Structure 1
Amino acid sequence: MSKYFRLEDYLKNQIEVQMSYSEIEKVLGDKLPESSYNDRTWWANTLHPSRTQAHSWLNAGWKIKSVDLGNSVIFVRNEAE
């Protein structure tokens, strides 16, 4: 099981979400990796096998709308779902 399962589970019960990094870390029960703070591609909406974090929000029917690196993320429902 991916460490991001808790994020997937949390997002399944939401309608629209803007979360701070600290809120995401609280849901995860763990710190986000350093790359999430300084690499926008970490937040890409991709199902690439090495990007398990993206699987969590995509599997829950969400995608990333925007990222304020190191501060917050806006998740929106994926209309394709």
Structure 2
Amino acid sequence: MQLFKKVQLELTEENIPFYGHIGLVTVRFTELESLISHIIERLINSDDDVISNTLIENNNLSSNLNVLEKINRRRGYEEKRLQRLLRKIIN
């Protein structure tokens, strides 16, 4: 099954907007992952960064969302708001 009829190998005036949007999605996704990691680090509330980093290093987005949900169940920080945000991200 071939998804694309034509492979774009060079940047042209026609495909600049497409690649611009792909770049924007990539940047926004990276920002989302970073913000989730920072929220987890704050909720862990440890003086030792090694503990925070050990819990979230090498995790994918889904794993970090699960860690965030579990930690916040214990912390209870703006629980309803955080649940709404998590549902938006997951769906």
If the TM-score is normalised by the length of the shorter chain, which range does it land in? under 0.3
Q: Which has the higher contact order (CA 8 A, sep 6+)?
A: 1
> How does the TM-score come out when normalised to structure 2?
0.26
* More helix as a share of residues: 2
